[in-house]
């Protein structure tokens, strides 16, 4: 039985020594898989960083382009106004005007300008009869009135909004008690 014991002990020794070798092999395999996953994640990270940089650059180019072309649209809308003013100056230089034609030319030029400003989204703020709003109006004077206090009585200078954002507040006279 000693032999059997030695045989068992020998087998146990082999099982024990095989077990660490199998464990080392399993750990090496797990390490290789982890390294591969790590490389894959690193590559994905680098691709994501590059893509983010490309998106940022593209957005910057789009913003610059929008600003450039936005100004071009504005300039194109104002060119007819300039043309009208040049004609008025040429007529005045040639002595070919009277007060009536001068006034008609000014009215036509003002209409061209109003249309151009409207097409680009610039709208007037004319709050007569409305409640005073400090985000859209600038009070120049408060005067006694029978109107409700805080009501806009008169617009001294028209204000303007560009697509809902105040560019210049309306300067107004407000009713006080």
161 within 8 A of 173, measured Cβ to Cβ = no
Question: How confident is the model over 81-124, as pLDDT tens digits?
Answer: 999 888 888 877 777 667 788 888 889 999 999 998 888 889 99
Distance between CA 49 and CA 42 in Å, rounded? Answer: 10
Q: The domain 121-177 belongs to what CATH superfamily? A: Head domain of nucleotide exchange factor GrpE (2.30.22.10)
Q: How confident is the model at residue 143 (pLDDT cuts 50, 70, 90)?
A: very high
Could you give the C-alpha distances from 133 to 70, 85, 137, in angstroms and in order? 30, 36, 6
| Structural domain spans, the chain | 1-120, 121-177
**pLDDT at residue 11, as a whole number:** 47
Q: Which CATH number fits domain 1-120: 3.90.20, 3.20.20, 3.40.50, 2.30.29?
A: 3.90.20
Predicted TM-score (pTM) of the model is 0.57
């Amino acid at each position: 039985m000693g032999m059997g014991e030695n045989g068992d002990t020998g087998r146990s020794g082999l099982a024990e020594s095989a077990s660490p070798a199998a464990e080392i092999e399993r750990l090496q395999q797990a390490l290789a898989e982890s390294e591969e996953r790590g490389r894959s994640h690193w590559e994905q990270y680098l691709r994501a960083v590059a893509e983010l940089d490309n998106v940022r650059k593209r957005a910057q180019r789009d913003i610059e382009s929008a600003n450039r072309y936005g100004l071009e649209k504005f300039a194109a809308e104002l060119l007819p106004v300039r043309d009208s003013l040049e004609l008025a100056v040429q007529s005045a230089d040639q002595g070919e005007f009277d007060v009536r034609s001068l006034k008609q030319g000014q009215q036509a030029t003002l209409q061209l300008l109003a249309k151009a400003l409207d097409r680009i989204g610039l709208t007037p703020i004319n709050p007569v009869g409305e409640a005073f709003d400090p985000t859209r109006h600038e009070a120049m004077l408060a005067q006694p009135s029978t109107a409700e206090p805080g009501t806009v009585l008169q617009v001294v200078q028209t204000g303007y909004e560009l697509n809902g954002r105040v560019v210049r507040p309306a300067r107004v006279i407000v009713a006080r008690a």
